[in-house]
Structure 1
Amino acid sequence: MKKAFILLETTFAIVALVGLMMRLAFVTGGDFLLVVSLGLLTMLYFIGGYFQGPSKSANADGAPATEGTALKIWSGILFSIGIIGILGTLMFWSGFRFHLQIGLVGSLAILLGLFLASRRAGAPARSLVFRRSTIIAALCAGVWLVPKPTLFHVFHRNDPQLLEKWNRVQQHPGNTTYQAELDAYRREQFASKK
């Protein structure tokens, strides 16, 4: 089951990277690939978090091994929250910065806990959960530290009118006229694509 988990994880991550590159290159379908692949990766971590690392079926005394099970399950849940935060932030859905912060803080807490546990045991921290925590924490931190206007300008650099209207709304958030102009422009864009 662990091999299937790693294969699915790698496949979804590669498809998400392709979707992001397509979105940056303004190729149609990049958003769809990004949403589907990160959504499936989130479900994989949330449902299959238990299969992240090697499993021991029994301890030395013959009792079922449960050490690390809670860590794998909770890390899977926190990883899925972090990935949802990354997805929501990259797609400019409102309210997803909080998910990003939970994923970042949770991944850093897992990293710290695993690091301290490995120091106490005198062994290096080389578990798969440790590696995944490092990657998820780095991705969450990277997306969280980039300001939303910068992301918006990168993803919509081919439409100067949209950028101008969006900047006005961001500079004057209480002005309903600017918001109505932006909404009308977006409706016009979507109507012309149909």
Structure 2
Amino acid sequence: MKRIEQATVGMSIIGVLMKLFLFEEGNTVLGLSLTFLAIIYYPLGFFYFNSVPIAKIFDRKSYKEITILKGIGAFGAGVIFAILCVGVLFKLLQLPGASEMLIIGLTSGAILSVVILFKYRINKNSRYSRKILIRSIIWLPISSLLYLAPGLTLVKIFHRNDPEYIEAYERAAMSPSDEELWRKADEARKR
């Protein structure tokens, strides 16, 4: 499952690069890869972080070493990383709800990281703690940067060839409650 995760992260990076170089397919690649990564983390996080191979999910012996706290921690980590994946996706695609997902993921991810860091200091040979800690070190800074990045900055980066949309978005951002301005910005984006 580690190789699937790495391939999906690689596709996400390719999607971001495509978006930066103004390929419209970048949104699709980014959407599919980050959604698939969220699926890996959320439903499969328990198995992944506890190093249970997919082929042995139904084998009782695979769960012998897993304590209740490890199970809860692995499931929680999977949920947190899935929320961060979707929050990053929403922020890059400028969809509503991105900030809320990122703040929930960042807050719970920071708490998880502190707990895992203490656990890792006790047992440095723990693959379980190392897996979660590495992903925290990667996902928390990326998510923090995107959370702090203003929407207008992202619009100026990803739509630099469309000054009409940038101007419409800027006007709408000045009056966030004016639905007519947001509708005009959306129309300018679709052109």
Question: Could you say which TM-score interval applies, normalised by the shorter chain?
Answer: 0.7 to 0.9
Answer yes or no: is the 8 Å Cα contact 1:107–1:133 preserved in 2.
Answer: yes
CA-to-partner distance for each residue in 1:141-176, whole Å, 9 max, x for gaps? 111111111111111111111111111121233556
CA 1:129/1:182 → structure 2, altered by over 3 Å: closer, same or farther? closer
CA-to-partner distance for each residue in 1:42-65, whole Å, 9 max, x for gaps? 000011102124467535xxxx65
CA 1:183/1:43 → structure 2, altered by over 3 Å: closer, same or farther? closer
Counting aligned pairs with the same residue, the percent is 23
Of 75, 98, 106 in structure 1, the residue corresponding to residue 77 of structure 2 is 75
Q: In structure 1, how many angstroms separate the alpha carbons of the residues matched to 2:149 and 2:84?
A: 16
Matched, 1:58 2:64: yes
Aligned length: 179
CA 1:124/1:151 → structure 2, altered by over 3 Å: closer, same or farther? farther
Bigger Rg, which one: 1
Q: Measure how far apart 1:177 and its partner are.
A: 5.5
Aligned partner letter, 1:108: A
Structure 2 partner of 1:104? 106
Q: In structure 1, how many angstroms separate the alpha carbons of the residues matched to 2:178 and 2:107?
A: 35
Task: Classify the secondary structure of the residue corresponding to 2:74.
Answer: helix
Structure 2 partner of 1:154? 157
Q: In structure 2, how many angstroms separate the alpha carbons of the residues matched to 1:58 and 1:183?
A: 54
Task: Classify the secondary structure of the residue corresponding to 2:139.
Answer: helix
Segments of 5+ residues of structure 2 without an aligned counterpart are 53-61
Aligned partner letter, 2:152: P
Structure 1 partner of 2:115? 113
Of 143, 146, 150 in structure 1, the residue corresponding to residue 146 of structure 2 is 143
User: Given the two structures, how large is their TM-score scaled by the length of structure 2?
Assistant: 0.83
Q: In structure 2, how many angstroms separate the alpha carbons of the residues matched to 1:54 and 1:181?
A: 50
Aligned partner letter, 1:169: A
User: Given the two structures, how large is their TM-score scaled by the length of structure 1?
Assistant: 0.82
